[in-house]
Amino acid sequence: MANNYDVKDLGLAEVGRQRIEWAALEMPVLKLIRERFEKERPLEGIKLSACLHVTAETANLARTLAAGGADMVLVASNPLSTQDDVAAALVSIDEIPVYAIKGEDNETYYQHLKAALDHNPQITMDDGADLVTGMLKERRDLLTNLIGSTEETTTGVIRLKAMAKDGVLSFPVVAVNDSLTKHLFDNRYGTGQSTLDGVIRATNVLIAGKTVVVGGYGWCSKGIAMRAKGLGADVIVTEIDPVKALEAAMDGFRVMPMIEAAGTGDIFITATGDIHVLDGEDFAAMKDGAIVCNSGHFNVEINIPDLEKMAVEKRQPRAFIDQYVMSDGRRINLLGEGRLINLASAEGHPSAVMDMSFANQALASEFLLRNKGKLEAKVYALPEEVDREIAALKLAGMGIRIDTLTSEQERYLNSWEEGT
């Protein structure tokens, strides 16, 4: 049993253990890394604080880091994403201190972040840059001990690059999201499937025949649009970037401004990383019964304060649904309090994609240690060889073989003189 922790109920540990082991079956790349870490102990004695969604997949990462010798603490990166049984198993079976309770209030969330910082980490692992922001804004005393940080998500990476540009970042960060084996798979197939899963679990509505409006056309929103279309929806995409908008149009989606889409959509899903993508004027135009939710990292994409102001009544017809009744009687249904719907009402990305994301995380912590003292205060991507190695291991895990270059082909590719 870990000494310090704050979880819902340790009695859930056995259920959590089974859930973690079920997820492990789809995480062969992380398993190989764990086996190597057990032998080589590359993180021996390193104090590591992780602020991630506390799920069965994250538990497999935590087990890997602990197998590598890390002295780690895990806290939630979102108040609604914790799987309480998994948190219990990590504490009582794996002896890893966890601070995370599903549905925790804001105060508890920040107390938990504080516990991660009080661990005096040499490496931090973030999903949304909360630990880095906490250190830079309030706990600068921790910077002397810090070797570097890793960041999981697009939103966090955007923030960190802004910090580096402003000269505020004073240590190296590895942007795990920048690996191809992360964003091409986790963001697209993981968010695509788990977001639709979240909408369906929260509402049980039929997607076929509905008009689904997707805010954004980055890797996450692409996955959402693709999966909504696959389930039979008529999909509208909204964008601010002309290239992405063009891509969406040529992928076969209708593209228009949100205010035009607002009056036609049945289900609205935001995943842009920006604020107030759905705003007061959009709520005013929506149909009775519209469903709105978010799959971006922060709960700012839907202007909930505006919705609260415009409503004359608020009801809860089902778990994860707040129904706002407008003065003209229209009902707008907000899912999961505007927080990441795939983690609020479903279980987040499936293990098979988190396998690659968390292989990147584990190798990023090793990269920071191997290059200790040699890295600058900036945002790094993992080397291309690491990305290719993870992809190769994943293919092997899936039983897929591929061709290799013949020496003739290699020569051709390396020469500019041959064969035009």
Q: What part of residues 291-350 is at the interface with ligand ADE (CB under 6 A)?
A: 343, 348-349
Q: Under the criterion CB under 6 A, does residue 58 sit at the interface with ligand ADE?
A: yes
Q: Under the criterion CB under 6 A, does residue 394 sit at the interface with ligand ADE?
A: no
Residue from the set 6, 57, 94, 178 that interacts with ligand ADE by CB under 6 A? 57
Residue partners of 381: CB distance under 8 A and separation at least 6: 174, 175, 178, 179
- Min dist CB 58 to ligand ADE, Å, is 5
Count, residues near ligand ADE per rule CB under 6 A: 10
Task: Return the CA Rg of the chain.
Answer: 22
Distances (CA, A) of 26 to 13, 18, 63, 317, 356: 21, 14, 15, 35, 10
Q: Under the criterion CB under 6 A, does residue 218 sit at the interface with ligand ADE?
A: no
- Given the rule CB under 6 A, which of 54-62, 99-107, 206-214, 288-296 is the region that contacts ligand ADE? 54-62
Q: Under the criterion CB under 6 A, does residue 155 sit at the interface with ligand ADE?
A: no
Alpha-helix residue ranges (DSSP H) falling in 80-236? 84-92, 106-118, 130-137, 154-165, 180-182, 191-203, 219-230
- Min dist CB 33 to ligand ADE, Å, is 16
- Given the rule CB under 6 A, which of 10-18, 32-40, 52-60, 214-222 is the region that contacts ligand ADE? 52-60
Q: Under the criterion CB under 6 A, does residue 354 sit at the interface with ligand ADE?
A: yes
46 in Cβ contact with 67 (< 8 Å): no
- Min dist CB 212 to ligand ADE, Å, is 20
- Given the rule CB under 6 A, which of 49-57, 63-71, 133-141, 381-389 is the region that contacts ligand ADE? 49-57
Beta-strand pair 311-318/321-326: antiparallel
Name which of 210, 226, 208 is nearest 218 in CA terms.
226
326 by DSSP, 3-state: which?
strand
Q: Under the criterion CB under 6 A, does residue 102 sit at the interface with ligand ADE?
A: no
| CA–centroid distance for 221 within its chain | 13
Q: CA 151, 47, 138 angle in degrees (round to 5)?
A: 65
335 in Cβ contact with 217 (< 8 Å): no
Residue from the set 31, 47, 53, 394 that interacts with ligand ADE by CB under 6 A? 53
In whole angstroms, give the CA distance from residue 33 to residue 62: 12
Q: Under the criterion CB under 6 A, does residue 273 sit at the interface with ligand ADE?
A: no
Q: Under the criterion CB under 6 A, does residue 182 sit at the interface with ligand ADE?
A: no
Q: Under the criterion CB under 6 A, does residue 60 sit at the interface with ligand ADE?
A: no
**Which residues sit at the interface with ligand ADE, rule CB under 6 A?**
52-53, 55, 57-58, 190, 343, 348-349, 354
